[in-house]
Amino acid sequence: MSVAQAPKANAANGDARIKSLIALIDVLTALVAEENAELSKGLPASRLKQVDEKNRLAELFERTVAECAAGTTSLHVRDQILREQLMERILKLRAAMDENLVRLRAAIEASNRRIEAVMQAIREQIAAVSPYGASGRVAARAVSSGTSRSA
């Protein structure tokens, strides 16, 4: 490879990395949007099928960003259109992830409310049949007494 060809090869490698990163972001954004749609239907976060794949793709994305920040990977983009596409995709991913965070928090809060309602029902049921009061002593039972009037 001549000295004149080296910058072109580096640019081609950079463009390929950027296109690969854009593809990763597109898949991750679609996955997060799918998860958001399911969360919007009220499904619990624990039942979502996207979680494992989302985590795997997010880890790949985070690794790439960390490599860029550390300077071990360079994402210099000469092509203005490619640069704009990358920025557009990053903004879309950020918006989807922001929505995802809000929806996941709501799902967690809903799960906590369901758990608390079940626990409260259990506590009430136990209290209704327990022979012991809050102090640990045998609780006085309400006794029904009736009067009989004979004429």
The DSSP secondary structure of 21-71, one letter per residue, reads HHHHHHHHHHHHHHHHHHHHTT--GGG-TTHHHHHHHHHHHHHHHHHHHHT
Could you give the C-alpha distances from 63 to 66, 69, 72, 75, in angstroms and in order? 5, 10, 11, 13
What pLDDT was estimated at residue 10?
58
Instruction: Judge contact between 46 and 112, C-beta under 8 A.
Output: no
- Hey, what are 127's tokens? 């209290």
Phi, psi torsion values for 145, nearest 5 degrees:
-125, 135
pTM score: 0.68
pLDDT in tens, 31-78: 999 999 988 888 776 677 888 899 899 999 999 888 888 877 766 777
